[in-house]
Chains A and B, each alone.
Chain A
Amino acid sequence: MDNPGESRGRVVRLAGHGREPLAFTLDGIAHGALSGDTVLTAVLAVAPALRGGDPREGNRAGFCLMGACQDCWMWQEQGPRLRACSTPIAAGMRLLTRPPGDWP
């Protein structure tokens, strides 16, 4: 049974449910993930896309999951951009689907 939070997401968890929960934010809203998740898994468990807003590019949700296509880059409120498929989620991450205000 999906909980209301997960029903907005894209991925379905098939195993490994009993893991340590941890908290992150996406566009300022608090969400939960499980330790061992990549950023991509954690975000797509609660949202349909990793990145959006650029009309030319549309929304992006990753494509190859092996670091080759570069489709899954995301922004953080502070710090460098990250490749969601190959970055483990960490407690307290503050992720953005759009560039922060000071992005050129």
Chain B
Amino acid sequence: MTARPQVVVVGAGPAGIRAAEALASAGLVPLVIDEGERAGGQIYRRPPDALSRPPAVLYGSEAGKAVALHATFDRLVAQGRARHWPRCAVLAVAERSLQVLGPEGVSTVRFDRLVLATGATDRLAPVQGWDSPGVYSLGAMQVALKAQAVALGRRIVLAGSGPLLTLVATQLLAAGARLEAVLDTASLADQLRGLPDLMTRPSLTVRGLAMRARLARLYRPGVRLGAIETDARGPVAVTWHDAWGRPRRSPCDAVGLGWHLRAETQLAELAGCAFDFDETWRQWLPRGDAMGRGAEGVYLAGDGFRLRGADGAELSGRLAGAACLEDLGLPVQRTAADLAALSRVSRFAQGIARAFPWPRDMVRQTPDGTVVCRCEGVTAGMVRAAAAHGGADVNRAKSLGRVGMGRCQGRYCQIAGAEIVAAAAGHASPAQAGRLRGQAPVRPAPVAAIAGPAAAVDPLQGDR
């Protein structure tokens, strides 16, 4: 043990940046490892210099928060109070060390404490034709717009549910893209059920409703999705039924899909965290206390811990940093205000989950011929056949049917796959189908990078 403990923060979004700031305030010099070119995460992603635009254009009403967050992190790094490894992916965690894949290959980074702020991806449900080129996640539509100033098609249909659906739609319209329809599988009745909790942050709710008003008749609630019709090039139309059951068809050349978020939890699992199935979010989430303590020396923050959005990520990042300092016996700033604010943000997030629910019945009724796993082309029928053989167990279904075995490691099929496996076995909850075990490396890595002679360096050694 050395005088100055080494704390590594994984992720440089709002949670990771605020955790690093908290750690630096006590004199630690955290190492922040992030896959992005520049710090900011997905929500406050910064475009390359050549594509720089004013913050108000990039981040809308959240421009002030984005600018403050970027400035905080840039200042920490410039002053030598935090170190930043951009373009680096953590592949594995074991025995107080991380395997990190960067531009120069794989290295081993030892740590005393670890803060995981790994964020989330879109949560996807299979729709017939979604494996066609030209179908993207809603997040992809937003990244393309913010970081590259492009629309991913000439005539776009967005479908799914959650706050991102309306947000991406209004951002695309404002930027001059052409939308054909915005199809929400949540009904107005679902949305009313979320309202009491949503009113814990009335200004956000009002802003969301104002955005939706701007979409006017493009926005359709209570939609039942049919299929994405495709030709060799990609999508040509989306078929759907409106809230009154009338069949509709929206011609398009691109589709964006997403049902809110899926926490990115592989590293938490490898770091020894326990998991619980959360019925509200319909997914497994790592267990942790209010401050984000997940396992011995492991702290969790941001959407990878609880899906509370960007403001919740900043608060939980600060709290995870404080928990780490407290456990190290270092001075901690008051946390009561952050805890209170986080509890309000959490209640709002529950409202979001209720208002824009996972489309359980749609997923359970996925036609046999529809692809569930985009990587490997595994269909719903193949998942059901695997479940008939292996029973209600997602890991057996993976072994037998390859669902979750592809190059995305189940990130985009595991939630739907578990729902289908559970339904096939007659269970009401995917919790009864178990949890897909995580495997290192959590990102694909070239064999040469891992097996090569330069693998066993410790770049922190010089600091100690």
Which residues of A line the B interface, CB within 8 A?
10-16, 19-20, 34-38, 41, 44-45, 48-49, 56-71, 73, 80, 85-86, 88
List the one stretch of B1-9, B141-149, B157-165 in contact with chain A. Answer: B141-149
Q: How far is the CA of A70 from the CA of B148 in the complex (A)?
A: 19
Cβ A61 vs Cβ B134 within 8 A: yes
Cβ A67 vs Cβ B35 within 8 A: yes
Cβ B374 vs Cβ A69 within 8 A: yes
- Per DSSP, are chain B's interface residues mostly helix, strand or loop, or mixed? loop
Cβ B131 vs Cβ A58 within 8 A: yes
Cβ A10 vs Cβ B132 within 8 A: no
Q: Does B444 contact A (CB under 8 A)?
A: yes
Q: How far is the CA of A50 from the CA of B152 in the complex (A)?
A: 13
Residues of A within 8 A of B408 (CB): 68-71
Known interface pairs A41-B144, A48-B134, A63-B140. Does A20 touch B50 (Cβ–Cβ under 8 Å)? yes
Question: How distant is A78 from chain B, measured CB to nearest CB, in Å?
Answer: 15
Cβ B137 vs Cβ A64 within 8 A: yes
Question: How distant is A25 from chain B, measured CB to nearest CB, in Å?
Answer: 21
- Which of B234, B264, B377 has a CB less than 8 Å from the CB of A10? B234
Cβ B374 vs Cβ A71 within 8 A: yes
Q: A67-B89, A68-B408 are in contact. List 9 more A-B contacts (CB 8 A).
A: A41-B144, A45-B150, A58-B133, A63-B135, A65-B137, A66-B143, A69-B407, A70-B375, A71-B375
Number of interface residues of B (CB under 8 A): 52
Cβ B121 vs Cβ A57 within 8 A: no
Residue among A12, A37, A56 with the highest chain B CB neighbour number at 10 A: A12
A interface footprint on B39-71 (CB within 8 Å = 1, 0 otherwise): 000100001111101000000000000000000
Q: Which residue of B lies closest to A44 (CB)?
A: B152
Known interface pairs A15-B175, A48-B233, A69-B412. Does A61 touch B133 (Cβ–Cβ under 8 Å)? yes
Q: Does B411 contact A (CB under 8 A)?
A: yes
Question: How distant is B287 from chain A, measured CB to nearest CB, in Å?
Answer: 23
Question: How distant is A99 from chain B, measured CB to nearest CB, in Å?
Answer: 15
Q: Pull 18 A–B residue pairs with CB atoms less than 8 Å apart, ordered by A.
A: A10-B254, A11-B150, A11-B151, A11-B153, A12-B150, A12-B151, A14-B145, A15-B53, A15-B149, A16-B50, A36-B47, A41-B144, A64-B122, A65-B143, A68-B264, A68-B412, A70-B407, A71-B374
Task: List the 5 closest pairs (A to B, CB-CB), nearest first.
Answer: A36-B50, A61-B133, A65-B140, A70-B407, A15-B149
Cβ A69 vs Cβ B177 within 8 A: no
Residues of B within 8 A of A48 (CB): 133-134, 233-234
- Which of B35, B48, B132, B154 has a CB less than 8 Å from the CB of A36? B48
Q: Which residue of B lies closest to A57 (CB)?
A: B377
Q: Does B245 contact A (CB under 8 A)?
A: no
Q: Does B272 contact A (CB under 8 A)?
A: no
Q: How far is the CA of A15 from the CA of B152 in the complex (A)?
A: 13
Residues of B within 8 A of A57 (CB): 377
Q: How far is the CA of A58 from the CA of B446 in the complex (A)?
A: 23
Known interface pairs A20-B50, A68-B121, A71-B374. Does A63 touch B234 (Cβ–Cβ under 8 Å)? no
Residues of B within 8 A of A11 (CB): 144, 148, 150-153
Cβ B121 vs Cβ A13 within 8 A: no
Q: How far is the CA of A49 from the CA of B42 in the complex (A)?
A: 24
Residues of B within 8 A of A16 (CB): 50-51, 53, 149
Residues of B within 8 A of A85 (CB): 143
Q: How far is the CA of A9 from the CA of B126 in the complex (A)?
A: 26
Cβ A64 vs Cβ B412 within 8 A: yes
